[in-house]
């Protein structure tokens, strides 16, 4: 799995977009995700918001979903807001089945999440939570 990061300064503080590419599966994929997420949290300049961009993730297994749940547990008591963007139908369905969609605001695009954060200082859940209303 490959990962890229983008720092986005806002009037509310630093927003970091983490773009994930490939598969989040047991082993290398989950380890890469965990390390990237923790590196952002441990950075000298702490972000006030993190966007997890799934636009190039083509598969996530139960270990990857578990890693996402662990990440939520890690950030729960920290002053950082997290949003998930660009979900495929398959991954969106997995987040719904596991109820992970209830803990992360989900946006159709990274740009939408950035605008939302810039306007609110946190990720205000969109009125239409589900990008695929037919599921």
22-66 pLDDT per residue, tens: 999 999 899 999 999 999 999 999 999 999 999 999 999 999 999
86-122 pLDDT per residue, tens: 999 999 999 999 999 899 999 999 999 999 999 999 9
Mean pLDDT, residues 69-84 taken together: 93
- pLDDT higher than 50, residue 135: no
Sign of CA dihedral 95, 57, 113, 47: positive
Q: What is the pTM of this model?
A: 0.90
Predicted pLDDT at 134 = 47
Predicted pLDDT at 42 = 93
State the Cα angle at 56 between 54 and 60, rounded to 5°: 65
Q: Is 108 left (phi over 0), alpha (psi -120 to 50) or beta?
A: alpha
Please give the CATH number for the structural domain made up of 2-120. Answer: 3.30.750.24
Secondary structure of the chain in the HEC alphabet?
CEEEEEEEEECCEEEEEEEEEEEECCCHHHHHHHHHHHHHHHCCCCCCEEEEEEEEEEEECHHHHHHHHHHHHHHCCCCCEEEEECCCHHHHHHHHHCCHHHCCCEECCHHHHHHHHHHHCCCCCCCCCCCCCCC
The domain limits of the chain are 2-120
Predicted pLDDT at 132 = 52
Reported as a pLDDT band with limits 50, 70 and 90, residue 1 is: confident
């Amino acid at each position: 799995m490959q990962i890229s990061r983008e720092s986005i300064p806002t009037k509310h503080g630093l927003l970091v977009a983490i773009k994930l590419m490939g598969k989040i599966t047991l082993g290398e994929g989950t380890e890469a995700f965990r390390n990237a997420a923790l590196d952002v949290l441990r950075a000298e300049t702490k972000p006030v918001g993190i966007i997890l961009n799934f636009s190039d993730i083509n598969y996530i297994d139960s270990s990857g979903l578990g890693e996402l749940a662990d990440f939520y547990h890690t950030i729960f008591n920290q002053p950082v807001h997290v949003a998930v963007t660009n979900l495929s139908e398959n991954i969106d369905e997995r987040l719904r089945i596991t109820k992970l969609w209830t803990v992360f605001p989900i946006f159709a695009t990274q740009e939408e999440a950035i605008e939302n954060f810039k306007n609110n200082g946190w990720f205000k859940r969109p009125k239409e939570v589900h990008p695929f209303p037919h599921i």
